[in-house]
């Protein structure tokens, strides 16, 4: 079995440990992002790592940065520096970063999760059932679970601290938070990135039901795509051949773990979706790892 890295320990100054990534300062202008094998679900970090997940997420993010960046669709700037992660750590630390890290520009993050939905699933489906809209965006009546939307919609969320839940908000709220210009450009970039990615993915037999992007500002104030992009941790991937409106398609992402957590019982009661998370069985870990591997294999074939 592939060895796992639950938590990295490098000699660089630690800036933050997120749900998946450990971020280290490299001087004043760069960050080393190390993708661990941690898995979060419902904004709770699970105790069991998914072997090989960090390396897979990094490969997939780099695949998309290449397809959507200057050499590809060239939709917007991204945070990659082109420098190798191994160049900024000690020889003893190389094994912790090789294949699972990105050396990126240090940006001022914006407090908005830029979510784009092309299909009705997850929290969007629940909200639609209640009021016929998602994050203030009205949708036609009669849609079903996993229905393709008439056009992709932008449904932002406010970023939450680690261990707390992101909050779905309206576009108007993002204007209040960061101003009309930035809010509008984030929305437009996000919709363009999603459309371009969907065209690439469907050729590989993958539907991107929804995804989220994050943006920051560089020292010159340039709006820049950052963090991970279009991975199974930030997106809902469905195999096109088994897609059927009205039911949840088997997904290539952590939905497999979410589904298990939804039905697990602790002392006879459903898990409260607060820490600590229940222990994930080896079989669920193995199946989740296989889903991630399959998604990468199909995309990069």
Where in the sequence of the chain do the CATH 3.30.200.20 domains occur? 14-107
Structure tokens at 73: 């669709």
Of the listed ranges 49-63, 157-171, 261-275, the one predicted with least confidence: 157-171
Residues 281-300 pLDDT 10s: 999 999 889 988 999 999 99
Rounded CA separation 290/25 (Å): 33
Rounded CA separation 271/280 (Å): 12
Q: Is the pLDDT of residue 192 over 60?
A: yes
Q: Is the pLDDT of residue 70 over 70?
A: yes
Name which residue leads in pLDDT, 136 or 35.
35
Identify the bridge partners of residue 32 per DSSP, sorted by sequence position: 24, 103
pLDDT for position 233: 87
Q: Is the pLDDT of residue 33 over 80?
A: yes
Range 226-252 burial, b when 16+ CB lie within 10 A, else e: bbbbbbbbbbbbbbeeebeeeebbebb
Rounded CA separation 228/296 (Å): 14
Q: Is 262 helix (H, G, I), strand (E, B) or coil?
A: helix
Q: Is the pLDDT of residue 76 over 90?
A: yes
> How far, rounded to the nearest angstrom, does the alpha carbon of residue 204 sit from its chain's CA centroid?
20
Query: What is the pTM assigned to this prediction?
Result: 0.91
Rounded CA separation 256/4 (Å): 20
Q: Is 60 helix (H, G, I), strand (E, B) or coil?
A: helix
pLDDT for position 97: 97
- Work out the average pLDDT over 151-179: 86
- Work out the average pLDDT over 56-64: 96
DSSP at 237: E
Residues 35-55 pLDDT 10s: 999 998 888 999 999 999 999
pLDDT for position 128: 96
Exposed, middle or buried: residue 128 (CB in 10 Å: 0-12, 13-18, 19+)?
A: buried
- Work out the average pLDDT over 80-89: 97
Answer whether CATH 3.30.200.20 is correct for domain 14-107: yes
pLDDT for position 118: 98
Exposed, middle or buried: residue 83 (CB in 10 Å: 0-12, 13-18, 19+)?
A: middle
Rounded CA separation 17/142 (Å): 42
Residue 257 pLDDT class (50, 70, 90 cuts): confident
Rounded CA separation 27/281 (Å): 41
DSSP structure string for 189-219: HHHHHHHHHHHHHHTTTEEEEEEEEEEEE-T
Identify the bridge partners of residue 17 per DSSP, sorted by sequence position: 22
Can you list the positions of beta strands (E) in 99-183? 101-105, 108-109, 112-119, 133-134, 137-138, 148-154, 157-158, 167-168
Of the listed ranges 84-93, 179-188, 206-215, 288-297, the one predicted with least confidence: 288-297
pLDDT for position 135: 87
Rounded CA separation 31/10 (Å): 13
Structure tokens at 229: 């992009």
Average model confidence (pLDDT) across the chain: 93
Where in the sequence of the chain do the CATH 3.30.470.20 domains occur? 109-274+290-300
pLDDT for position 1: 42
Contacts of 102 (CB under 8 A, 6+ apart): 32, 33, 58, 61, 62, 80, 85
Rounded CA separation 301/295 (Å): 10
Composition of the chain by helix, strand, coil, percent to 5:
35, 25, 40
Structural contact between residues 100 and 140, judged by C-beta atoms closer than 8 angstroms: no
Q: Is the pLDDT of residue 126 over 80?
A: yes
pLDDT for position 254: 77
Helical ranges in 69-121 per DSSP H: 94-97
pLDDT for position 107: 97
- Work out the average pLDDT over 130-140: 94
- At the fourth CATH level, which superfamily is domain 109-274+290-300? ATP-grasp fold, B domain (3.30.470.20)
- Work out the average pLDDT over 50-75: 94
């Amino acid at each position: 079995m592939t060895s796992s890295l639950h938590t990295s320990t490098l000699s660089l100054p630690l800036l933050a440990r997120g749900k998946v990534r450990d971020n280290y300062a490299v001087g004043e202008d760069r960050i080393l992002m190390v993708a661990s094998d941690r898995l979060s679900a419902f904004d709770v970090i699970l105790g069991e790592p998914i072997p090989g997940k960090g390396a897979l997420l990094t490969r997939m993010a780099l695949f998309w940065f290449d397809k959507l960046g200057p050499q590809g669709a060239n939709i917007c700037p991204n945070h990659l520096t082109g420098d190798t992660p191994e160049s900024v750590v000690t020889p003893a630390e190389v094994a912790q970063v090789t294949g699972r890290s990105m050396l990126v520009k240090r940006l001022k993050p914006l407090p908005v999760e830029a979510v784009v939905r092309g299909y009705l699933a997850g929290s969007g489906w629940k909200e639609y059932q209640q009021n016929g809209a998602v994050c203030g965006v009205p949708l036609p009546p009669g849609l079903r679970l996993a229905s393709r939307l008439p056009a992709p919609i932008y449904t932002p969320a406010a970023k939450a601290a680690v261990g707390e839940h992101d909050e779905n908000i309206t576009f108007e709220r993002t204007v209040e938070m960061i101003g009309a210009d930035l809010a509008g450009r984030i929305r437009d970039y996000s919709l363009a990135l999603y459309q371009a990615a969907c065209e690439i993915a469907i050729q590989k037999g993958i539907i991107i039901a929804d995804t989220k992007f994050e943006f920051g500002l560089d020292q010159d104030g340039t709006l820049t795509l950052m963090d991970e992009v279009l991975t199974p941790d930030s997106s809902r991937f469905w195999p096109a051949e088994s897609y059927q409106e009205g039911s949840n398609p088997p997904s290539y992402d952590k939905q497999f773990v979410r589904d298990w957590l939804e039905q697990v019982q602790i002392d006879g009661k459903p898990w409260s979706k607060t820490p600590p998370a229940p222990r994930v069985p080896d079989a669920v870990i193995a199946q989740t790892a296989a889903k991630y591997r399959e998604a990468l294999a199909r995309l990069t074939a």
